[in-house]
A and B are shown apart, each in its own frame.
Chain A
Amino acid sequence: MAYLIAFHWGWLLASLLLGLGMGWIAVVSRVRPVSSRWMLILSVLAAILVALALTRIVPGRFGYWLDLLLLMFVPYLVGCAIGSQLRDWVVRRTMPPV
C-alpha cells in the first residue's frame, strides 16, 4: 500500500482534487441523483472489488490495475465528502436568515 501511494501520489492527488470539485458541485447541482437501489448495487459491486483485491485472486497486471483503481477511488470519495461539506457550510453561511 505504502509503495503504491508513494509511486502514484500524483494521480492520487489528482483524484482528491477531482473529488473536491465534484463534491463542491454536487451540493447545488441539479443532476439527477443515483437511486437508492442503484446505490446499493454499486456498493455491493465496490465490496466485491475490494474483496477481490484483498484476496489477491486477480493475477498479474489486472490485479495491479484493480488495486490502483480502488486506491484512486479512496481520495476521490474523501475529496467528494470534503468538497460537499465545505460547499454546504458556505451555502448555509450566505443564506439570508429566515
Chain B
Amino acid sequence: MRGLFRWSGKWWPGVVPLVLFWAIAAWNNTASVEADLGGKSAAAVKDIVLDKTRISVDGRDVTFAADAFSEDGRHGALIAVETVPGVRLVNDESRLVPEAKPFVWSAQREVARITLAGNAPLPAVRAKLMDVARDEVKGIEISDQMNLARGAPAHFEDAAVLLIGQISKLKDGKVAISDSGVTLSGMARELGGREAIAAALRNLPQGFSVSANDVRAPPYVFQANKDPVAVTLTLSGYVPDENVHAAILGSASRKFFSEKVVDNLKTSVGAPSGFVNAAIPALGVLSRLSTGTLVVSDREVKISGDALYEAAAAQIKAGLPKDFPRDFQVKADISVKPASAPVDATVCQQLFNDLLSKAKVRFLTGRATIDSDSAGLLDHLIETALRCPNANIEIAGHTDSDGEDAANQALSERRAQAVLDYFVKAGLPADRFTATGYGSSQPIASNDTDDGRAQNRRIEFLVR
C-alpha cells in the first residue's frame, strides 16, 4: 500500500493524455447525448395528453415545457421525463391549460367557409370536430380557430358534433355552446331546414338546453312563367303537399288552354296559410296575360306581364283586392300588349275557330255563369274580335240533348248572352254582336256518349 502511494506521485504525466481524451470525448459525444436524451424524453411523454410539448436538452439536463389538461397529467409527464435513464435534471416549464369560464365554442358558416372557434377540451376532440365538419360539408374550407381550455361541460363533444351536423342545413349562420346553453342563428338552406334543425336539437345530450334558436326559413317561393314563344307555362318552387300540387296542376291546365304546362314543383312544408287561395287566383291572372311572370314569395304576390287589351288590364287590376286572401300583399305590374294588325272577316273566323279548337268557353253546371277558368280564352276571343272591327259576329250557344228542349233552348240563349255581355264589358260595341241559342238542335257529335255530349255543349262564333 505504501508502494502504491509512492508510485501514485508519478502517475501525473498520464493526466495530460487523459484530459485530451476527455476533451475529444466531450467534443464528439455532447450532441449525441443530447439528441438521445431528447428522443427518449419525447417518447416517455408520447402517450400522455399534452399540448404544445417542447423538450430541449442541454448536456444531460432536460427542459420540459407543455400544456397539461390536468394536474395528474402534468405530474405524470414530469415523472416520466425525470425517470428517463441518463437525465440528470429536469427544468419544469409545464403548466395547466387555462380554464375557460364560461366554456364557449362556436361554428360559423359563411358562403364558402366554416369557422370553428372558441374552446375545445382536448386536442383529440378538436381534431374530431374538424373531421366531422369536413365530412359534413364537403368541398368547403374549414377554418380552425379553436383554443384548448379546461372546464368543458359533460358530453360537450357529443353536443358539438350534433351542432356541426346542423351547419350543413344552414345557408349561413352560427351555432354556439356557452357552458350548457346552445344558441343558433342564421338562414336555413332549404325549406323545412328550420324544422329539421329543431327536431335534431331534441337529441342534445343530457344537461344541454337550447337558449335561443333564431334560425330563419328561406322564403316560400312559388313561381310561374308564361312563355309565348315556347308556348309553355313553367311552374317552379314549392307547394305544401301533393293534394295542392294536383289542384294547381289541374287549375293550370284548365286556365292555360294552349300552353304546355312544365311542372318543376317540389313539395315542402313551410307554406304560408292560405297559400293555395293565393296561388290559384294568381295563375288566373297570369292566364289573362300574353306573356308574364308570377312569383308568390311567402305572403307577397308579384305579377308582371302584358294584358291582351286595355280593358283586360283594368279588369285585372280592379279584381286583385278581392281575388286574394287579405293577408297577402299583391303587387301587379301590368302593361298592355301592342294591338295586333286588323284582319278581314275570313281570317277572323279562322282565328275564332283555332282558339275554340283548343278550348271551350266553360260555364258552371246547368247555369249561364261563365267559369273563371275561361277568362284567358275569353280574353283571346275578345282580342280576336278587336282585330276585325267591321265584322258582325253571332255568338251561338249550344247544349247537349239531356233535359227538356225548352230548358236547353233557354240555357243556350242565356249562355250566348252571357258571353255577349262579357264582350260588351270589355269595351266592344254591343251592336256588332248577336247572341243566339240553338238548344240541342245542332249537335256536332253523338249525344249517346259523355264525350259526345261534352262536345255538343259549346259556344261558337260566326263572323258575318
Answer yes or no: B229 CB below 8 A from chain A CBs: no
Contact in complex: A72, B21 (CB < 8 Å):
yes
The 8 A CB mask of A75-96 against B (1 = contact, 0 = none) is: 0110011001100100000000
Answer yes or no: A27 CB below 8 A from chain B CBs: yes
CB distance from B92 to the nearest CB of A (A): 15
Q: Which of A7, A26, A72, A84 contacts B33 (CB 8 A)?
A: A7
Contact in complex: A31, B13 (CB < 8 Å):
yes
Residues of B near A80 (CB, < 8 A) are 7-8, 11, 14
Contact in complex: B18, A18 (CB < 8 Å):
yes
Contact in complex: A39, B33 (CB < 8 Å):
no
Q: Which of A7, A39, A67, A84 contacts B3 (CB 8 A)?
A: A84
* Smallest Cβ-Cβ distance to A71: which chain B residue: B22
Known contacts A22-B13, A23-B11: A69-B22 contact under CB 8 Å: yes
Contact in complex: B59, A65 (CB < 8 Å):
yes
CB distance from A73 to the nearest CB of B (A): 7
Contact in complex: B58, A61 (CB < 8 Å):
yes
CA–CA, A93 to B74, complex, Å?
A: 66
Residues of B near A69 (CB, < 8 A) are 19, 22
Contact in complex: B33, A29 (CB < 8 Å):
no
Residues of A near B32 (CB, < 8 A) are 7
The 8 A CB mask of B6-39 against A (1 = contact, 0 = none) is: 1111111111011101100110011011001000
CB distance from A92 to the nearest CB of B (A): 10
Known contacts A63-B88, A65-B59: A72-B14 contact under CB 8 Å: no
Answer yes or no: A68 CB below 8 A from chain B CBs: yes
Residues of A near B36 (CB, < 8 A) are 7
Contact in complex: B10, A18 (CB < 8 Å):
no
Most chain A CB within 10 A, of B9, B18, B26, is at: B18
Answer yes or no: B60 CB below 8 A from chain A CBs: yes
CB distance from A43 to the nearest CB of B (A): 10
Contact in complex: B22, A68 (CB < 8 Å):
yes
Chain B residues engaging chain A, CB cutoff 8 angstroms: 3-4, 6-15, 17-19, 21-22, 25-26, 29-30, 32-33, 36, 58-61, 85-86, 88-89
Chain A residues engaging chain B, CB cutoff 8 angstroms: 2-4, 7-8, 11, 14-15, 18-19, 21-23, 25-27, 29, 31, 33-35, 39, 56, 59-65, 67-69, 72-73, 76-77, 80-81, 84-85, 88
Given contacts A3-B85, A34-B12, A76-B15, 14 further A-B contacts (CB under 8 A): A18-B14, A21-B14, A23-B11, A26-B10, A31-B10, A34-B9, A39-B9, A60-B58, A64-B30, A64-B59, A64-B88, A65-B59, A68-B26, A80-B11
